[in-house]
Amino acid sequence: MKDSGSIRLLATGELTGQRYGETPYKLYESTDGLTREQLEQAPYFFVWLHGMGNGPIAPKNLQRMQARLKHRVIFMAPQSPTAKNELRFDWGCCYHKTQNKNQLGYVFGSLHQEFLRDFSQQIGFLASLFQAERTLVMGYSMGGFGAFQVGGFSPATFDAVVSVAGYGLGTLEEGEETPQPEARERFEQFLEQVATKLSDVPIVLALHAQKDGMSSFTDVSAIIDKVKESSQQHGKENVVELHQVPDGKADSDKTWNKKTKQKRRGHHYFNYTLLDGSSEDFFWAKLRRFLAKAEPRGELFPVSVQSRRLPWSGRGAGRMPSCPKCEPEAAQDEEIEPEFEVEGDEEDQAGVWTKEEEDPEQIRGWKLEDEPEQEEAGALEEMPQLKEDAWPGAEGPENLSWKAASRGPRPRVAPY
């Protein structure tokens, strides 16, 4: 027996920091086309990163992606950070207005350590809260760039990193406005300090059109090749693949009218790769197979109870290019007071994060949503008030606790 299927807004939240702007996000649950048995399985936690322009994805499109995964999914749909202290952001890439002349912020910008650390921490926290079986990050265009950024910064957090029409920091391409050899040097640094870290992710996929005139196919090919090289050097048996979009489908999206047709540059294949019937064989069937075969992940939170240090700063694995406009400590490890008490022996690296006697609506800056948003596209069913015994991964909001280290098979959680 199949459920009627729906997508609903669970909660909204906001990530804030001293050196980056507001980063609001929404959490959705989608269960379209699932059997009752599938509804009882632990969900996937799926982070969707939007492209240039900060346009939010329609919930109905998230629902269609979930239906292709054939699994219960908790979606996190954040917005790229707003500007702060004269810095602008393309996810974790920050730059000044003058550095973005001719849209070259991705060349002259730097990766913002504090944002990537906090963002990775929040993703890991929420994935653990919902007892997710798998954690994925995916994005289109600038979102694909963001997927590479956060996946390379915190590979232990993710089971899959998928970049569609994405790019890297810097470029190999020659062009009138592209500063060479600076752009090439920047890109090679990105390969060494970011792409090599992606080899620790079980599944790394890129979907790209060779005809794409906005995001370089050559650059993405080099990123995937570097991930493969690093995987082979370290004996990793992960899946690293580049799937080429046919030239005839590079401008197949019908979101632009005829007047703008001449401006298309092979960068419009969102529907072909992710939503249309063509996406099943091209992408989703492969991803389902890879997820089914991937080994259970290791610890999600390798946190030392004694030091209370956060694990997402990439210690012991080299440094990512940091933001030259930030204070030095923005690119360094920090001891951070945990918002949750850690219980257990010091030898127990996992511990148990607990939160008691606190309003659940204030947890980590996010609140429950009692009413669906009406202005967005997609059918959102009205969300009932959550009951204590239906809180994900806990006995109830008054006694919120969960294992912080489990990335293997998780206990089944009844749908709510």
For residue 126, pLDDT over 60 is answered with yes
Whether residue 268 contacts residue 276, with contact meaning beta carbons closer than 8 Å, is answered with no
SS3 category, 49? strand
What pLDDT score does 175 carry? Answer: 79
What pLDDT score does 198 carry? Answer: 98
Distance CA 403, CA 299 (A): 10
What pLDDT score does 258 carry? Answer: 53
Distance CA 235, CA 200 (A): 11
In sequence order, the β-bridge partners of residue 371 are none
**pTM (2 decimals)?**
0.74
Which are the contacts of 229, defined by CB distance < 8 A and separation ≥ 6? none
What pLDDT score does 371 carry? Answer: 39
- How is residue 268 written in tokens? 């419009």
Fold of 1-416: Rossmann fold (3.40.50)
List pLDDT tens digits, range 1-46: 343 358 999 999 999 899 999 999 999 999 999 999 999 999 999 9
Which are the contacts of 101, defined by CB distance < 8 A and separation ≥ 6? none
Q: What is the mean pLDDT of the chain?
A: 75
SS3 category, 399? strand
SS3 category, 99? helix
Whether a cis peptide bond, with omega within 30° of 0, leads into 181 is yes
Place 143 in a pLDDT band, splitting at 50, 70 and 90. very high
CB count within 10 Å of CB 337 equals: 5
List pLDDT tens digits, range 183-230: 999 999 999 999 999 999 999 999 999 999 989 999 999 999 999 999
List pLDDT tens digits, range 149-183: 999 999 999 999 999 999 999 999 987 778 889 99
Q: What angle do CA 64, 280, 155 make, to 5 degrees?
A: 80
List pLDDT tens digits, range 325-355: 454 433 333 333 333 232 333 333 333 333 3
What pLDDT score does 100 carry? Answer: 56
Q: Give the pLDDT mean for 311-326.
A: 38
Percent of the chain with pLDDT over 90: 55
